[in-house]
Amino acid sequence: MNEVDRILALREELNRHNHNYYVLNSPEISDKEFDLLMKELEALEQAHPEMADPLSPTQRVGSDLSKGFAHVTHERPMLSLANTYSIEEVDEWFDRVKKGLGGEDFEITGEMKYDGTSISLTYENGRLVRAVTRGDGTQGDDVTVNVKTIRSIPLVLHPGDWPERFEIRGEILMPWTVFNELNKEREYNEEPLFANPRNAASGTLKTQDPKEVAKRRLDAVFYYLLSDELPYGSHYENMEAARRWGFKVSGEMRILKTEEDVNNYIGHWDIHRKELPVATDGLVFKVNSLRQQLNLGFTAKSPRWAVAFKFNPENACTQLKYVSFETGRMGFVTPVANLEPVLLSGTIVKRASLHNADIMAELDIHEKDWLYVEKGGEIIPKITGVDTSRRTPGEPKVEFVVCCPECGTPLVRNDGDAARICPNKYGCRPQITGRIEHFCARRMMNIDGIGEETAELLFDRELVTTPADLYDLTKEQLSLLERFGDRSAERILQGLEESRKVPFERVIYALSIPNVGETTSKRVAKAVKSMDRMQEMSVEQLQAIPDVGPTIAQGIFEYLRDPVAVENIERLKAAGLQMQLDEDKMQQAGTVLEGKSIVISGTFSHHSRDEYKEIIEANGGKNVGSISKKTSFVLAGDNMGPAKLEKCQKLGIPIVGEDEFLNMLEQK
């Protein structure tokens, strides 16, 4: 590829990454990789001035502008900072500042670079009048209503020497504790997890419902004051004044006088940033004197008087304590690395899944090995390798178990499958309690009060071994259990009573039929109409149901002929559960989506993802989980996944927004 073609390719690639980062909040590459591509493009464009293009990625900053918010032009552009990734590069910037100031003495302020979403607040007469996102640097979204819900942002300032009108810039943040709680809740509800606190904060700030924003407990830290009438001549003094006025200003901001001070500041925070309650991805260094900032000026995209230092992605090396093997609801045995505790991305990591026997063998883990661990997508801890230089000679390799760690039954492995399975499904404790817990979960029968611990307690007291046993429980039996009282017992009995109204498709999902998840349960229910009919069908008839392949069909057929499963179903029928499709669902609402295969991606304002799935099916459409040439279109909300977006572009699949989709249904 010649240099001109490389310029065109880089522009296309950087535009795609800009969109992923600022609009979709779903970056595919690291900041460092992005900056290296940008630097390559800058160098090539300088070498080929004939290729100048005002719309090149080098001539703009990224955008987070959203539909649904008023766009406001910034009084002063919100430029990005030049990024560095090594102490040497920071030292080079320091030398350029020294040269630019002609040898004049200067001070540097060192600050944390918080990993949130940028915000600009405007105050008049000590009162907040507007909050605007960074947007494309020239204009942003007016999110004042949402920002007012953030309790660390002052709506009215403390008495002080604040200017009559000024702008202050900072970061909207989601603390690690709130982020972890939010993702636990989303995981329980089987909703897509936020990749990191920045995505969560950005997504929350763009939510159309301020009440929902308030629930998320966002925080804010401020780092830059702008006005024609600033009270002091230095950045540090102005930020200390802002602190007195009621703003949350970083307590980690320091005055640095020498290059050595700067390097020591980097060294300190490279280690201690992990102890902070919020996410950070680097440091920012600014010339402290506003006069000197003015003398140094700006490049086309960034100030010469400031630079950002980016930390490398967080990972750690910690020692393996032991590998445990855990049997799940469907009998799959998973190896788990139990580690010496290590702080990583704001949380203490003690465990990391090794997934299956093949991955464990590929890593070649030995007893007491030192393992490299990092957060996959900054959420799920994963083992990325072994530090063999620290391996103790003679320590044996960790081997996958041959028998179930819970019941001792020899494990089986299906041809072409990496998983090891315990076949003792009706005698293996975690499989039994897992099925009970699954049956009671919110998206299945929604029986409040029965989670993992209660399911295990009911099994241990020999009260429940199958889901049908739940409907024989009495208040007296429940009240006698540890940590239970009359109120807890009544809550469970009320949940059991309400579960008799749960629709047929969710009953199918609750039964733990192999390979039958939520979507498949809906398709099967719609096709078979009733449990009686489902039990009569042959493998061939089951396989004729849309998207039910031979493996799923065989699994359903065998399950419905298993004596234990059959008895459980008959008892659930007798208990009054819904064993046929609701008549309203048998009647199709319309045919406007007839023959269309639709993928849902992102988050929505008017309906939940589940509601949209039901709307699609009610109008004759088919929900599919992945994009292919057969996909009719993608129903896209906010934060559409970058991989899906790229595949749509590659295959030419239309992307339909939420409002457009609803209009489509109204015009049927």
Q: How many C-alpha atoms does 58 have within 13 Å on its Cβ side?
A: 20
**Residue that terminates a domain, selected from 558, 585, 612:** 585
For residue 83, being part of any structural domain is answered with yes
**Are 192 and 45 members of one domain?**
no
**Are 101 and 229 members of one domain?**
yes
**Are 109 and 124 members of one domain?**
yes
- Model pLDDT, residue 593: 87
Window from 28-32, 182-186, 429-433, 516-520 with minimum mean pLDDT: 28-32
Q: What is the mean pLDDT of residues 548-556?
A: 89
- Asked whether the beta carbons of 121 and 167 are under 8 A apart, the reply is yes
For residue 65, being part of any structural domain is answered with no
**Residue that terminates a domain, selected from 585, 612, 641:** 585
- Model pLDDT, residue 25: 47
- Model pLDDT, residue 189: 60
pLDDT bracket for residue 394 (50, 70, 90):
very high
87 Ramachandran zone, left/alpha/beta (phi>0; psi -120 to 50): alpha
Residues 6+ apart with CB under 8 A from 300: 59
For residue 119, being part of any structural domain is answered with yes
- Model pLDDT, residue 574: 96
**Are 581 and 595 members of one domain?**
no
**Are 305 and 329 members of one domain?**
no
**Are 479 and 507 members of one domain?**
yes
Q: In what order do the strands lie in the sheet with 597-601?
A: 622-623, 597-601, 633-636, 655-657
Q: How far apart are CA 554 and CA 556, in angstroms?
A: 6
* Residue listed under structure tokens 């047929």: 504
Going by their DSSP bridges, the two strands 280-287 and 108-114 should be labelled as: antiparallel
Q: Could you give the percent of the chain with pLDDT greater than 90?
A: 47
| Centroid of chain to Cα 633 | 24
What residue spans of 365-416 are helical by DSSP H? none
Domain range for 38:
3-59
Q: Which of 113, 375, 425, 644 is catalytic?
A: 113
- Determine the angle formed by the axes of helices 31-47 and 3-22, rounding to 10 degrees: 140
Q: What is the mean pLDDT of the chain?
A: 87
What is the token pair recorded at 209? 């419902």
pLDDT bracket for residue 665 (50, 70, 90):
confident
**Are 131 and 232 members of one domain?**
yes
**Of the candidates 657, 552, 547, 572, which has an alpha carbon nearest to the alpha carbon of residue 606?**
657
Q: Is residue 379's pLDDT more than 60?
A: no
CATH code of the domain covering residue 204: 3.30.470.30
For residue 64, being part of any structural domain is answered with no
For residue 113, being part of any structural domain is answered with yes
For residue 66, being part of any structural domain is answered with no
Return the exposure string of 429-447: e unless at least 16 CB atoms fall within 10 Å of the residue's CB, then b.
ebbbbbbbbbbbbeebbeb
CATH code of the domain covering residue 51: 1.10.287.610
**Are 390 and 433 members of one domain?**
no
Is the dihedral angle over the CA atoms 591, 593, 596, 599 positive or is it negative?
negative
Q: How far apart are CA 494 and CA 605, in angstroms?
A: 32
Q: Using alpha carbons only, what angle is made at residue 92 by residues 91 and 98, rounded to the nearest 5 degrees?
A: 90
Tell which wins on pLDDT, 451 or 439.
439
Active site residue 113: yes
Per-residue pLDDT tens over the stretch 71-121 = 888 888 888 888 888 899 999 999 999 999 998 999 999 999 998 899 999
Helix (H) or strand (E) holding 51: none
**Are 620 and 579 members of one domain?**
no
- Model pLDDT, residue 62: 45
For residue 562, being part of any structural domain is answered with yes
**Of the candidates 556, 547, 545, which has an alpha carbon nearest to the alpha carbon of residue 515?**
556
Q: How far apart are CA 435 and CA 331, in angstroms?
A: 10
Per-residue pLDDT tens over the stretch 324-353 = 999 999 999 999 999 998 877 666 788 988
Task: Specify the 3-state DSSP secondary structure of 268.
Answer: helix
Which backbone phi and psi does 190 adopt, to 5 degrees? Answer: 55, 40
**Residue that terminates a domain, selected from 266, 292, 310:** 310
Tell which wins on pLDDT, 33 or 45.
45
CATH code of the domain covering residue 641: 3.40.50.10190
**Are 268 and 328 members of one domain?**
no
For the chain, what is the domain count? 5
**Are 34 and 84 members of one domain?**
no
Amino acid at 576: G
Q: What is the mean pLDDT of residues 464-489?
A: 90
Window from 362-376, 383-397, 472-486, 591-605 with minimum mean pLDDT: 591-605
pLDDT bracket for residue 51 (50, 70, 90):
confident
- Model pLDDT, residue 346: 62
**Are 288 and 171 members of one domain?**
yes
Return the exposure string of 32-49: e unless at least 16 CB atoms fall within 10 Å of the residue's CB, then b.
eebbebbeebeebbeeee
Q: How far apart are CA 546 and CA 585, in angstroms?
A: 17
CA distances from residue 419 to 322, 330, 356, 435, 601 in whole angstroms, order as listed = 20, 11, 6, 19, 29
- Model pLDDT, residue 191: 61
**Of the candidates 203, 204, 248, which has an alpha carbon nearest to the alpha carbon of residue 223?**
248
